[in-house]
Amino acid sequence: MASSALVVIGNEILSGKIVDTNTPFLISELRSLGVRLAEIAVVPDEVDRIAEAVRRVSARNDYVFTSGGVGPTHDDVTMEGIAAAFSVQIIRHQRLEALLRGYYELQRLPLAERNLRMADIPLGAQLLEGPDLRWPVVLMQNVFILPGIPEIFRRKFLAIRERFREAPFFLRRVYVRCDEGPIADPLEAVANRFPEVAIGSYPRMQPAEDGHRVLLTLEGKHEPSVQAAVEELLRQIAEHVIHST
């Protein structure tokens, strides 16, 4: 199963000035693609912090996505941070520079020198282009560098999403009427017997309208294993506490 990580970059996220909508979007997308999101890091606009986070999650995940910090202003230091993570220099990419110059000329807008910073990328990075992309996605090793603006973040991810598709997750839900204590031992026993099935337990402070107190989830990539785990759990839990499946 492929694993992935997200590094969200921006003082505005950490201070609460901006609400992060890219994270829930990416979680949903990766889930639908069958990719496990293993970790999320949120770091400030600091080169050393970005480098440390990217270096750490890149080493233990198949894919890393970054969000934010790729514009022309002083706090846009994501490219520098990623370059530092892989111990390479920043270079000006001729293809990106040509795209920028062409865009500003077409729009009849003045091109400030600072705008050309958006053509600076880590040495060795690739450009992923597509028919639905005005600006390519920059890929540095296994790190997909995406902007923080939600509309552009979504557009760029959707243009490359199919490269990540894997076998889907299979999910079963079991609702029980009791609290977690009486079902803790059966849950642990089933989890030990079926390590390939992820089991979650989500209690409620008050019973739901339908009467259940805990939602149990069992999921994995191998449907027969998930089904076998559900059947074993139902055998071990007292029948009177099972609300529904």
Mean pLDDT score, 162-181:
94
* Exposed/middle/buried for residue 228 (C-beta within 10 Å: 0-12, 13-18, 19+): middle
Q: What is the pLDDT of residues 91-121, one digit of tens each?
A: 999 999 999 999 999 999 999 999 999 999 9
Please tell me the predicted confidence (pLDDT) of residue 240.
Answer: 81
Please tell me the predicted confidence (pLDDT) of residue 210.
Answer: 86
Reading the block at residue 12, the tokens are: 């505005």
For the cut 90, the answer to whether the pLDDT of residue 134 exceeds it is no
Phi-psi region of 68 (alpha: psi -120 to 50; beta: other; left: phi over 0): left
- Residue in 68, 84, 73 with CA at minimum distance from that of residue 6: 68
Cβ-contact 116, 97 below 8 angstroms: yes
**Interatomic CA distance for residues 99 and 134, integer angstroms:** 9
Q: What is the pLDDT of residues 17-68, one digit of tens each?
A: 999 999 999 999 999 999 999 999 999 999 999 999 999 999 999 999 999 9
In the chain, count H helices and then E strands.
8, 12
* This model's pTM is above 0.85: yes
Please tell me the predicted confidence (pLDDT) of residue 186.
Answer: 93
Kindly indicate the confidence band of residue 220, based on its pLDDT and cuts at 50, 70 and 90.
very high
Reading the block at residue 46, the tokens are: 């600091």
Rounded to the nearest integer, the mean pLDDT of the chain is: 95
**Interatomic CA distance for residues 64 and 146, integer angstroms:** 10
Long-range pairs of 148-152 with CB within 8 A, sequence gap ≥ 24: 148/9, 148/10, 148/22, 148/67, 148/68, 148/69, 148/70, 150/21, 150/22, 150/25
Percent of the chain scoring above 90 in pLDDT: 90
**Interatomic CA distance for residues 30 and 23, integer angstroms:** 11
Please tell me the predicted confidence (pLDDT) of residue 207.
Answer: 84
* Exposed/middle/buried for residue 3 (C-beta within 10 Å: 0-12, 13-18, 19+): middle
Please tell me the predicted confidence (pLDDT) of residue 29.
Answer: 98
